Structure formats: C-alpha cells, structure tokens
Amino acid sequence: MSTPKYKLTYFDYMWLAEPIRLLLSYVKEDFEDVRVDWDEWEKPDGKIDKSPYPYGKLPVLEDAENGLKLGQSFTILRYLGRKYNLVGATDAEAAKCDEYADVLKDILKEMELMWEKDEKTTLEMKTKWLEKTIPRYYSVIESDLKKNGGKYLVGNGITWVDFLCAQMNQLFTAYPKVDVLANYPTIREHQQQVFEIPEVKAWIDKRPDNYDGW
C-alpha cells in the first residue's frame, strides 16, 4: 500500500477539519486521518507534544510532496483549492469564494461564543445568533445562490467554499441543535447536493459518526 500524500491532524470530531476531509475525498486523495484525543490535549501536564503543530492549534495539514506543514483550516482549504483547481475560474470568482468563507467564519465565531456558557446565557446568545446573525448573512447567500442556479456558490463549477458551506451548515445545525436552514431552502438543497456527490458520500458513509454530528 502506498503512503498517503497528505496527513491531516485534528481532534476526533468534525468542526474545522471536516470540510478539508470532504475536499480531499472529492479529489480522491487518500489521506492519513490522524485524530488526537481532546482530553489528553487539554491536560496541563499532558503527554502530547504540541510543538510540531504551528501555533499549538489544529487542524494541521502535511503535504508529503513538498514537505509543507500548514495550519489554519481556511488556509488549508484554499491551498488544496488552488492545487486542484477549485478556486473559481477568475480572480473575481476567487474573491467571492473568500467573501463567503469570511462570512461563514463570522457566523462560526459568534456561535463559538456559546461554548461552555451557563444555560441562561447560552439561550440568550443562541436566540441572538438565530434571529440576527443568521438572517443578516444567510438572506444574502440564499439570494446569491438562487441567482447562480442553486448548485454552486460561485461560478459554474464546484469550489472549496461549497464544501466549507455544506459542512458549516451541518455544524451550525448540530452544535446549537437548531434547524438553521429552515428559512433557506436553496442553501439546504445546495448542502444536500454537496453531500450526495459520490466521492463525498463515500467518505460520509465511512467516517466515524461521533460527537452528535459536529
């Protein structure tokens, strides 16, 4: 058996690494899917040496072809996007991919504020996130996507941001336990289409099914 070209190190859940796993599956690249134990990582006197990982954060992608070790999930997606021609056909399309990705990051950052808060605070934050944050961004994406035919966020072909958007929607649903796409049928349809791409579906069918879907 040949050694995989890529090694992707993350924790044993989907969160920031799953869009990368989807993209690597789509381009049919075998990758070493290394999953670090979160509880061990968190221990102050833990046995995990974090020094090999840039900034002491995960995910990290290693590319055996050129020795690159890369942190930051969106940077990794963009890098792979460029390598496999999944960044749009023009500079303008590449910029739209970046814009949607930054939007998803803004939504993610606000969702992450709910992490480990007491019940009352979580509920208040969740309500604000659902009633203000989501409509602010998703009304635009819904309308743009519809105008573009519904299949791809940008241009006439799949880009790295399609994988990111589909998976972030799973996260935005599973972590706060809400149907975040209730008012956005085009975005929901887009997510289903991405998850049904045969190479992506093959990964989804075999991946570990853990952490309540996030």
Ligand X SMILES: N[C@@H](CCC(=O)N[C@@H](CS)C(=O)NCC(=O)O)C(=O)O
Residue 72 binds to ligand X (criterion: CB under 6 A): yes
Determine which helix (DSSP H) or strand (DSSP E) holds 184, and give its type and residue range. none
Q: Which is nearer to ligand X, 152 or 160 (CB)?
A: 160
Binding of ligand X by 74 (CB under 6 A): yes
Strand 31-36 and strand 60-63: the pairing is: unpaired
Type of residue at 153: L
| Residues 109 and 100: beta-carbon distance below 8 Å | no
Give the x-and-dash track for 37-66 against ligand X (CB under 6 A): -------------------xxxx-------
Q: Which is nearer to ligand X, 116 or 205 (CB)?
A: 116
Residue 22 contacts residue 86 (beta carbons within 8 Å): no
Query: DSSP for 90-114?
Result: SHHHHHHHHHHHHHHHHHHHHHHTT
Considering the rule CB under 6 A, would residue 109 count as an interface residue with ligand X? no
Residue 8 touches ligand X, criterion: CB under 6 A: no
Q: What is the Cα–Cα distance from 79 to 73, expressed in whole angstroms?
A: 10
Q: How far is the CB of 192 from ligand X (least distance, A)?
A: 25
Rule CB under 6 A: say whether 16 interacts with ligand X: yes
Candidate ranges 68-76, 173-181, 183-191, 203-211; the one touching ligand X (CB under 6 A): 68-76
Q: By C-beta, is 137 or 211 nearer to ligand X?
A: 211
Quote the least distance from Cβ 36 to ligand X, whole Å. Answer: 9
Please say whether the beta carbons of 194 and 145 come within 8 A.
no
Does 15 interact with ligand X (rule: CB under 6 A)? yes
Tell whether residue 203 is a contact of ligand X (CB under 6 A): no
DSSP string across 42-55: H-TT-S---TTSGG
Determine if 103 is a binding residue for ligand X (CB under 6 A).
no
The Cα 101–Cα 127 span in angstroms is 23
Interface ranges with ligand X (CB under 6 A): 15-16, 56-59, 72-74
